């Protein structure tokens, strides 16, 4: 699957709460995100280098993640093993290190790039504007199928396979719709609007977007059924 050389938003920054191990997936890679007590954000492969157990079932110990199985501890930043409880006096081998991914925080999201990437996450439409992130929603469909549904909505312009802009009329600011391909059959839709609504207006906006996501869900259909429809 292509897409390793770009930044994808994977979660709203504020959902990576203290002492929590957030769990996402991008292009079939399972990833854990966690913030150390000093604020450093880590994005790691969801796999313990010891026996491959998922770190998402481990515990967050402040500046380390502790694996559920044999208690190996891995440090924020480097991902290096700091302690093997069965051999506490032994210096852990260099190879005992969790794979980490490039991560950035911008526009209210954590962004991950799986491979080499040029530049920084960028949403030029929102530069100079405030940004309000909305509730993300996961669909059991390929990114291309979600994008096709977005393209059929009035007012939405799909810019590339993973990015669409909803130009809102009047004084309303634009909204960016960003697709996170979890796998070939699952996609998460993130959204950020260029407004600074507060209070009841903000809540109504969040609720309306959430309702819209649920409304488009049944309209997202596979490419096969789209082409069958077109040839009819």
Partner 1 sequence: MIELYDYELSSDAYKARLLLALLGVAWTQRYVEYYPRRQHRAPEFLALSPRGELPVIVDDGTIVDDAQNVLVHLASRHDPTGRWYPQNDAGLTSQVSTWLAFAAALTPTASAARLHDGLLYHHIDVDEARRGAHEQLAVLDEHLWFNEDAGWSWLCTVDQPTIADIACFPDVILAEEGGIELRTYPAIRRWTDRVKAIPGFIAMPGIFPA
Ligand X SMILES: N[C@@H](CCC(=O)N[C@@H](CS)C(=O)NCC(=O)O)C(=O)O
Residues that bind ligand FES (CB under 6 A): 48, 50-51, 53, 67, 69-70, 72
Q: Are strands 175-183 and 64-66 parallel, antiparallel or unpaired?
A: unpaired
Choose the one of ligand FES, partner 1, ligand X, none that binds residue 48, judging by a C-beta under 5 to 8 angstroms depending on kind. ligand FES
The residue among 67 and 134 lying less far from ligand X, judged by its C-beta, is 67
The Cα 198–Cα 222 span in angstroms is 38
Choose the one of ligand X, partner 1, ligand FES, none that binds residue 45, judging by a C-beta under 5 to 8 angstroms depending on kind. none
The residue among 32 and 179 lying less far from ligand FES, judged by its C-beta, is 32
Choosing from 76, 80, 188, 195, the residue that interacts with partner 1 (CB under 8 A) is 188
Q: Which helix (H) or strand (E) holds 200?
A: helix 199-216
The Cα 4–Cα 181 span in angstroms is 11
The Cα 201–Cα 207 span in angstroms is 10
The string of DSSP codes covering 164-186 is EEEPPSTTPPPEEEEEEEEETTE
Choosing from 17, 86, 200, 230, the residue that interacts with partner 1 (CB under 8 A) is 17
Query: What are the φ/ψ torsions at residue 221 (nearest 5 degrees)?
Result: -125, 165
Tell me if 19 contacts partner 1 by CB under 8 A: yes
Tell me if 68 contacts partner 1 by CB under 8 A: yes
Tell me if 13 contacts partner 1 by CB under 8 A: no
Query: What are the φ/ψ torsions at residue 207 (nearest 5 degrees)?
Result: -65, -40
Choose the one of ligand FES, ligand X, partner 1, none that binds residue 23, judging by a C-beta under 5 to 8 angstroms depending on kind. partner 1
Please check whether residue 127 is in contact with residue 206, taking contact to mean a CB–CB distance below 8 angstroms. no
Q: Residues in the site for partner 1, rule: CB under 8 A?
A: 11, 15, 17, 19-20, 22-25, 30, 56-57, 59, 68, 135-136, 138, 182, 186, 188, 203, 206-207, 210
């Amino acid at each position: 699957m292509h897409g390793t050389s770009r930044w994808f938003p994977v979660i709203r920054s504020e959902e990576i709460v203290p002492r929590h191990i957030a769990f996402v997936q991008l292009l079939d890679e399972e990833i854990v995100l966690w913030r150390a007590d000093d604020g450093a954000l880590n994005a790691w492969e969801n796999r313990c280098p010891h026996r491959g157990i998922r770190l998402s079932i481990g515990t967050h110990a402040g500046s380390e993640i502790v694996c559920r199985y044999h208690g190996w501890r891995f440090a924020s930043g480097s991902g290096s093993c700091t302690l093997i409880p069965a051999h506490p006096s032994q210096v852990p081998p260099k190879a005992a290190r969790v794979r980490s991914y490039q991560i950035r925080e911008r526009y209210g999201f954590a962004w991950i790039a799986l491979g080499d990437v040029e530049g920084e996450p960028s949403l030029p439409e929102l530069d100079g504007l405030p940004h309000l992130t909305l509730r993300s929603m996961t669909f059991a469909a390929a990114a291309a199928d979600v994008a096709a549904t977005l393209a059929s909505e009035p007012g939405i312009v799909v810019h590339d396979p993973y990015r669409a802009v909803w130009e809102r009329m009047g004084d309303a600011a634009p909204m960016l719709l960003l697709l996170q391909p979890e796998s070939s059959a699952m996609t998460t839709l993130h959204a950020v609007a260029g407004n600074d609504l507060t209070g009841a207006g903000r809540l109504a906006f969040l609720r309306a977007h959430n309702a819209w996501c649920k409304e488009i869900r049944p309209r997202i259909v596979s490419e096969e059924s789209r082409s069958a429809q077109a040839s009819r």
